Chains A and B, each alone.
Chain A
């Protein structure tokens, strides 16, 4: 897996909450038995009109987002189906970083990303960053006001810096295990195989039908 240390790129925004993996990569593309070829089909139903042309009304099709590699969106991104194809599609469409808000409301904590989606990102060298809701609101405004806005997201220092007219920088947190895996581009099957003796010992006395 490609390691992720730091990334600088153009920021695009998608102003929708609860974007599900059916929307990120619709069912017809799940018939493929390959790991590649998903990029042009990311957000297919929103991205193209009935005659297959890019739909000018879809936010991410705006010319100002040409060449983007950082996606900023709303809460609970990647909910629904476990399909890893969703992350493959985003990665192959050029996204290296996805930023979504962590919302604290009425004593409830609404996460930026759905669980399975988040663990799928780590396994594909894509960085999922949660920021406070106000920070994400600020970024939406910055992007709206500054076409071509770039950001640098640094996993070594855990900082996301937006290169607007003035510097805007946010600290973020990420699970240490996921950070390690991304920084080193580790293959987690290799890592687990280091514990194969522990698995053997466990299996020797574990009854799988109980």
Chain B
């Protein structure tokens, strides 16, 4: 019987089978950021250990950093200490750092692919759950805790149990103004926030093949929101064009590239490979999605009403009542009737150049509603530079947006970009948990186009009819 994409990569990385069904697997790329690494480096120092492969370890600062023009002087002393700790750790252990002020700094999951560190067939880990993003290249990429960060720093391996595989087939094509963000929100709505636990999701089907790399990354990014540690898409010509079409310093070149391409073409799942589970989704039937509750599985089509407590499949009455209470919503209301305070366009889900182009296309010649604060935060400094070269920044500013420097920003509000209690936000990020964007803040997850239109209208609109 044939092998799946996941099985091929797994088999190529098993250093040793261990007792009890565990395997020691080799890690090809370790991405490090300031928040989940200081305690790991402290562990190394205490034990007198070294980093085994500093050449396979890359670092940036993203979670904690200010996104305003005066960002180099971090006002918050605790944030500053964390950023400085990363600088010291990278210097002491010989790790490449794309720090604040570097033209390649950005959200770790945006810069990995940009720099050509993210390649098909690799194992990639980071102390961050959205490492699943890199699976869009046909890599096995997953988030780890700080103890595991320390383990990888010292050994370049991890002890793992082999997960199952779950094939998600998106048949047909997306309707106009519906995006990959809507595909993945739809999926999470269907299988729930734990529906993928214990599995690696492999996305396929005509609709996935038709997506750009940016759009594929948005899907794989949110695999963790379905409980899966990883999501993957088989590499194809779109993948190879992304890797070779632009200067990517760490991507193989010349003869190495020829050999790599030969190998990468062997990676897609064989036709007779079996997955442990499978689900088919009719892509043409997907409408723009908006979350109404406090986890990404609490999601509806834009033209559906907010559910009643006993009418949200997969959630108890209690769960729904708590969520509605927190969100300040009544059952049956239409989200298009509820005013917004803030619109956030950014995060490792939707802050790449294509996302910004989509938002800019909606905002071009329009202006945000007076009462709405609009924040546009590019995922990396390279994205920012490209957006400015294309004049997108001028469109954003003319629309009344704040155009920022790269970072995680209001995705989690570890820096000063936060919601105030009860502010309601349309966000292109990936988590609508209580307090995620600021204590008491109310987050609705949407695509970049839906977020941009919401900023203009001051409330959610159905992008499909609103643009006409």
Chain A interface residues (CB < 8 Å from chain B): 15-18, 20, 22-23, 26-28, 30-35, 45, 75-76, 79-85, 87, 108, 110-111, 114-116, 119-120, 123-124, 175-177, 180, 188-189, 191-193, 195-196, 198-199, 202-203, 206, 208-210
Contacts and interface: CB of A to CB of B under 8 A. Distances in A.
A199 B154 contact: no
Contact of B19 (A27, A177, A189): A177
Given A80-B433, A188-B151, A195-B24, A114 B161 contact: no
Interface string B175-200: 00000000000000000111101100
Contacts of B250: 209
A116 B439 CA distance: 24
B236 interface: no
B99 interface: no
A82 B155 contact: no
B85 A33 contact: yes
14 contacts: A26-B439, A28-B414, A45-B435, A79-B227, A79-B295, A82-B127, A84-B39, A111-B198, A116-B144, A116-B145, A177-B161, A188-B159, A195-B15, A209-B252
A80 B431 contact: yes
Contacts of B315: 17
B227 A31 contact: no
A120 B194 contact: no
Given A83-B36, A203-B156, A33 B227 contact: no
A87 B148 CA distance: 13
Given A18-B193, A209-B256, A210-B263, A189 B26 contact: no
Query: Which are the 8 A-B pairs with shortest beta-carbon distances?
Result: A33-B38, A84-B145, A123-B147, A176-B20, A120-B145, A82-B143, A84-B146, A82-B129
Interface string B238-268: 0000000000001010001001100110000
Interface stretch (B75-83, B212-220, B352-360, B392-400): B75-83
A175 B19 CA distance: 11
Contacts of B39: 33-35, 84
Given A83-B145, A209-B260, 7 more contacts: A22-B436, A33-B39, A34-B39, A84-B146, A110-B192, A111-B198, A177-B22
Contacts of A180: 20
B42 interface: yes
Interface in B126-140: 127-129
B256 to A, nearest CB: 7
Interface string B304-320: 00000000000110110
Contacts of A26: 435, 439
Contacts, number: 185
B150 interface: yes
B260 A202 contact: no
Contacts of A45: 434-435, 439
Contacts of B127: 82, 84
Nearest to B319: A17
A191 B150 CA distance: 13
Interface in B14-57: 15-16, 18-22, 24, 26, 28-29, 35-36, 38-39, 42, 47, 49, 56
A199 B144 contact: no
Contacts of A124: 147
Nearest to B192: A110
Contacts of A193: 154-155
B108 interface: no
Contacts of B194: 18, 75-76, 79, 110-111, 114
Given A84-B145, A175-B20, A210-B260, A33 B82 contact: yes
B26 to A, nearest CB: 6
Given A20-B433, A114-B227, A188-B151, A30 B252 contact: no
B157 interface: yes
A192 B157 contact: yes
B442 interface: no
Contact of B414 (A31, A115, A188, A191): A31
A31 B197 CA distance: 28
A208 B28 contact: yes
B219 to A, nearest CB: 18
A176 B18 CA distance: 12
Given A111-B194, A116-B145, A208-B28, A198 B155 contact: no
